[in-house]
Amino acid sequence: MANQVIHYSSDQKTIIRKLERSLERLGGSNLDYDFNSSRTDYSAWVSFQYKDQRYRFELTNARLNYFRMTVNSSKDILGMLAFGISDLARLAERGIFDFGRLVESYKSLEFIEVPSWASFMRFDSRPRNMAEVEARYKELVKGAMRPETNREDFEKLQQAYDLAKQYFGVDV
């Protein structure tokens, strides 16, 4: 499955204005933000005050890659944050939920990590199905982890493959 490319055509000024309007809806204040414009490691964060509590939202390339999304600039990541915060502000403004309680609940959720067997098989994100694992396994066996050239790594690869089967509920 190919990565979905995310792009916001808005300029930085428009994105910041969207954040400011979101804070107006929430009754928040003290907006602060920054983004990393390095060509290889895009990231951004937004911070603001809401009901005597400081909130900070961060987004990085690594997290986007996990969800098979890519961006062309840090401005795009800042745009993603702005649109997400805007959606939350609208829901809170309409009385659907309390913003503070929602965000506090979110903080307690853990980010889903890539299983160790998937990392060994050189996946950047958790594979979606066993077909992806099988394709990667075949690729690795044909490449650097051939049984005749690197027996120890091949055995580890076999163990990782067996763990993947268990993970996806395929007979081992």
pLDDT in tens, 21-57: 999 998 899 999 988 766 567 888 899 998 888 888 8
User: What rounded mean pLDDT belongs to the chain?
Assistant: 83
The dihedrals phi and psi of 33, each to the nearest 5 degrees, come to -160, 160
What pLDDT was estimated at residue 131? 92
Q: Tokens at residue 101, please?
A: 């309680």
| Position 109 pLDDT exceeds 70 | no
What pLDDT was estimated at residue 23? 92
Across 104-119, average pLDDT: 71
How many other CB atoms sit within 10 Å of the CB of residue 136? Answer: 19
Bigger pLDDT: 7 or 54?
Answer: 54
Taking only the tens place, the pLDDT of each residue in 66-82 is: 677 778 788 888 898 99
Sorted by where each starts, the structural domains of the chain and their CATH numbers stand as 4-107 (3.30.160), 116-167 (no CATH)
pLDDT above 70 covers what percent of the chain? 88
Q: Tokens at residue 73, please?
A: 């600039």
d(CA 156, CA 152): 6
Outline where DSSP puts E strands in 61-163.
Answer: 69-71
The dihedrals phi and psi of 6, each to the nearest 5 degrees, come to -100, 130
pLDDT band of residue 115 (cuts 50, 70, 90) is confident
What pLDDT was estimated at residue 108? 59
What pLDDT was estimated at residue 19? 93
What pLDDT was estimated at residue 39? 59
pLDDT band of residue 121 (cuts 50, 70, 90) is confident
